[in-house]
Chain A
Amino acid sequence: MSEPVGTLIELSKVNRTYVGAELVHAVRDVDLNVAAGEFVSITGQSGSGKSTLLGLLGLLDRPTSGTISLTGIDVSNASDARRTSLRGQVLGFVFQQFHLVPHLTASGNVEMALLYRNLRPRERQAKAHAALERIGLGHRFGHKPTELSGGEQQRVAIARAIVTDPRIVLADEPTGALDSANAENIMEVLTGLVDERTAVIMVTHDRELADQADRRIHMSDGSIVSDTTSNTDASHMTGSHQAPSNESMDSPA
C-alpha cells in the first residue's frame, strides 16, 4: 500500500488493551492517517482513550494489535531503543504540566532535547536560542522555570519540542494550566508550526480550542466517533486521509 506523499502517521486497526483486574480496551480498532501540515485536535471525555492514543502516537507505548507507521516506518513492534531514537528525530512533545526541569534555565531546558547529538555546546546553544526567539522568548534564555510565568513556561516547552525540527508535534492539553490570554498565545504558536508544515496533534477537552484545529477528532470508549475537517482550511490537506464512515456525525460535547 503506497501512501500519498506527505502522510506522516498511519494507524491501521490499532488496539490497545490493558490486562489488569479486568480487560480494558483503551483503544479499539482505530484507523487514522495524518499528513504533514495538518492541525488535528482530539477530544473526548476521561477514559475515552485519547491519552492512550497520544501515548501510541508518541511512541511511548506499543499497540496490542494493529500497525502504526511514522514517516513510513512501521513502529508497531519497534524496540524501545528504536522508538526512543525515532522520538528524538520526528516527534516533539508539549505537556499540560510543561515538564520543564526546574534546575535548568530556559535555554538549558531547550538544549536538553539536543544532547547526545554530537553538537558543540555553542551550536546547541545557538539552536536553542533560535527556537526561543521563534516563540518570542529571546529575552528569557537564562531564566529558571520558577522565574517564568505559566505561559512563558509552556512556550519554553514548545521551544524544546520544536528545536529538533520534528515532523510531528504532540500536545497534551497544552493550555490546560493557562489562563485564556496565554492559551490564545500558545494556540497561535501551534498554528504557526502548522503553517511550516509540521503536523500538530493536540489532545484537549476544551471544545473551543479543539474547534481552532483544521481537523477535529472525537473519541469515545476507545474509538474514533467523529473526524471532521474544516472546509475553510481544506487547502492544508495535501494528502488524503481515510475519512471514517461517521464523519458527518456531530460529536457530543
Chain B
Amino acid sequence: MRSLLDLLATAAAGLFARPSRTMLILLGPIIGVGAIVAAIGLTESAKGDVRATLEDLGTDLVTVQASSGFQGTQGLPRLPEEADARLKRISLLRASAVVTELPGHQVLPHSEAAEAFEVLPISVRVAGTQLPDVLEVDMLWGRWLNTWDNQSGHRTVVLGSDTAEQFAVLPGEVRSILIDGRIYGVAGVLSEVVLVPSYNLSVFISPVAAEDDFANEGGPTEAILRIADGETLRESDSAFLNTVLTYGGPGGIDPPTVPTDELEATASVDETLRTVVLLMGGLSLLVGGLGIANVMSISVLQRSAEIGIRRAVGHTRARIAAQFLSEAAAVGFLGGVLGALLGAGVVAVGADWRNWTMVLPIEVLIGAAVLSVVVAIVAGLIPAVKAARLEPLQTLRLG
C-alpha cells in the first residue's frame, strides 16, 4: 500500500516537473474525452427533450380510422353509429371521442374569397363536446362547441389554429365564416393539436348542425382514444378494437396509430451525427495516445540518468516500469477528468442554447475517463518497457 503511494507520488513529481509538456500531452485525452462526452450528452439531451415533449403531449393518445364503409355508399369509410358508446365500455381506454369528417364542402372566410381558398383544403369535422378534453388541448380563445349548440342546431363553428390564421381571425373577434355558403358564427379557436395535425386546418361543427345543413348520416369516420393508465396498446389490441367497434358487423378499422411513436422515430435520425462525433472523439483519443507514447519515449531517453540512479539505489526494473506507466495513467486520468468536465460544459451550454433539459448519464463521464486511462496506459507500455530495460551501467557513465 505504501509502495503504491510512493509510486503515485513519484509519478506525480515527474509530471509536475515538466508542466508545459504535461499540458501538451494532456490535450489529446482532453479533446478525445470531451468530444465523446459532448456527442453522447448532446444527443441524449436532444432525445430527452423529445421525450419530455412527448411526456407533455401524452404518449397514450391513439387515433383510429375507419377502413371500409359501414354504410359505405358515399364519402369516407364510416365506423358503426354505436362506435362512441362501444368505445366508452372498453376498460383499456380512459377516454375517447369520435369525429366525423365531412368531405367536399367549401369553407370560406367570406363570399369573395372563393378563388383564393379554392386550393386550400379546409376540412369540416363533426365533433362532440368532449373532443378538446380527450385531445388535452386548450382553446386558443373563445369556447368549444357545447350542449346548447348541439341541441339548438345553431350554426356555431370552432376553427383549427391554422384555419384561424388563414382566415386572419383576431382573438375575441366577432366573426362568421361560410360553409357551403351558410353563415356560421365563430365561437372560438382551438390551440394547435400537435399529435393530430390535420385538425389544425379544420373547422368543427356540432352533430345537429351537420345533420341539418349537410344531411350527415351514419357513424363517425375516426376516433381519438386515450389508453388507460398502466396499460399499453399491444399488437393484439388492434383486432380487439376492431371486434368491439364492429360487433362482427361489416366495416372495420385501420391499425391504430400512436402519433407519439412516429414523433420519436423522426427524432432519432440524429444517430448518424452522433456516430460521426463519437468516431472523431475516439480518433483524437487514439492520436492523443500516440502523442503520449511519443513524448514519453523521448522523456525516457532524457531521463536515463534518473532511471540509472533509481536502479542504483535499489529500484527494480518493475518499479521503473510502474513509475512510467503511472505517469502515463495519470495523464490519462487527468485528461479524462478534464475532458469529461469540458464535454459536460459543452453539453450544458448546448442544452441551454436549445432550451433542452441537460441529460448526461454519469456512466458516460466515468466510462469516457476510464477509456482515456486505458488508452494512456497502453500508450505508456512501450516507454515504460524501454525505461525498465535501460542498463544503469550504461546510463550512469562511470569513470
Contact = CB atoms under 8 A, between A and B. Distances in A.
Contact of B317 (A80, A104, A113): A80
A87 B312 contact: yes
A57 B310 CA distance: 17
B306 A113 contact: no
Contact of B3 (A93, A108, A118, A121): A118
B234 interface: no
B314 A113 contact: yes
Contact of B396 (A81, A85, A99): A99
Interface stretch (A47-55, A183-191, A241-249): A47-55
A87 B393 contact: no
A115 B305 contact: no
B18 interface: yes
A173 interface: yes
Nearest to B395: A99
A119 interface: yes
A126 interface: no
Interface string A81-98: 100110111010101010
Contacts, number: 90
A115 B10 contact: yes
Contacts of A99: 305-306, 308-309, 396
Interface string B6-45: 1101100110111000000000000000000000000000
Contacts of B397: 97
A223 B17 CA distance: 44
Interface string A164-207: 10000000110000000000000000000000000000010000
Contacts of A88: 313-315
- Determine the main DSSP class of B at the interface with A: helix
Contacts of A85: 314, 316
Contact of A116 (B17, B315, B392): B315
B168 interface: no
A84 B314 contact: yes
Contacts of B94: none
B311 interface: yes
B396 A95 contact: yes
A24 interface: no
A93 B312 contact: yes
A164 B305 contact: no
A108 B13 contact: yes
A129 interface: no
Contacts of B312: 58, 60, 87, 91, 93
A93 B313 CA distance: 8
Given A46-B399, A54-B399, A118-B2, A61 B393 contact: yes
B154 interface: no
A120 interface: yes
Given A103-B18, A116-B6, A87 B398 contact: no
Interface of A: 46, 50-51, 54-55, 58, 60-61, 80-81, 84-85, 87-89, 91, 93, 95, 97, 99, 101-104, 108, 112-113, 115-116, 118-121, 160, 164, 172-173, 203
Task: Give 10 nearest A-B pairs by CB, closest first.
Answer: A88-B314, A103-B17, A51-B399, A113-B313, A51-B398, A60-B393, A99-B309, A115-B6, A93-B312, A101-B306
Interface of B: 2-3, 5-7, 9-10, 13-14, 16-18, 305-306, 308-317, 319, 391-393, 396-399
19 contacts: A50-B399, A51-B398, A54-B398, A60-B396, A81-B316, A85-B316, A88-B313, A88-B314, A88-B315, A91-B312, A99-B309, A99-B396, A104-B13, A112-B309, A113-B314, A115-B319, A116-B314, A116-B315, A164-B314
